[in-house]
Structure 1
Amino acid sequence: MRGDYVFRVRLRVEPSDPDVTLDPDTFETVLRRRAPEPGAEGWLFFRDNCWRGETNDDAHARRLAEEALGVPAESVAFRELACDREYYDALREAIAADLTPFRADDVPEVLTKYLGSSIRVVGD
């Protein structure tokens, strides 16, 4: 079972040596953050960090990327939750077990509310 939160990140590299310059000094890359197993600690990452398939707080998303990468992040954009079928089914079951934290009536509403249409089940 595997799930990954996928982000597009624009990074700035600042040389510590004043005699070194970079051109360009920014670049884009793809950051994949392993999604915790549904029900395990941290599994509500999508609820706490996404809204309608986008990051819900740009400054917070940049801080998370900077902490993980150790370089300044100029921008972070959520792209998708990429997961296998087993992870997707477990996520749906964990959400269905308690809808209260999501303030929603059903699982499809939760997934749409936080992830929009940005879920890709791989290997199907």
Structure 2
Amino acid sequence: MLLLSPKYLELNIERPCSDRNSLVLPNVIFPDSPSGDNRYFIVEALKDCPDAFGPKPTKLTVFNRWGDLVYRNDDYKNDWDGTNTQGLPLPSGTYYYLLDLGSVSAPIKGYVVIMR
């Protein structure tokens, strides 16, 4: 805050939330890690600001290497730990995801490796 004169005040507000262009997503998770590090697919922007991308919920859809749907969550809260939709552990390997931030832009496509 900077006081320019007795009548005017300059106020700079920094937005603590990330935007889509600065999104950092993990490319590997270790669901069985004894230390607890990298057990979950964490979208940092959701952790810092759950509504950073608007009022619609974030959706996470995960596919195996053959394109079969293995996990889907229509209200994702940083809680995917490498299990399938039934809660059973998926084997180690590469999986592909669509992360829909609920905004007007297209879902983000990427991959994540599960290491057990």
TM-score category by the smaller chain? under 0.3
Higher helix share: 1
Higher strand share: 1
Of the two, which has the highest radius of gyration?
2
TM-score by length of 2: 0.27
TM-score by length of 1: 0.26
Q: Which has the higher contact order (CA 8 A, sep 6+)?
A: 1
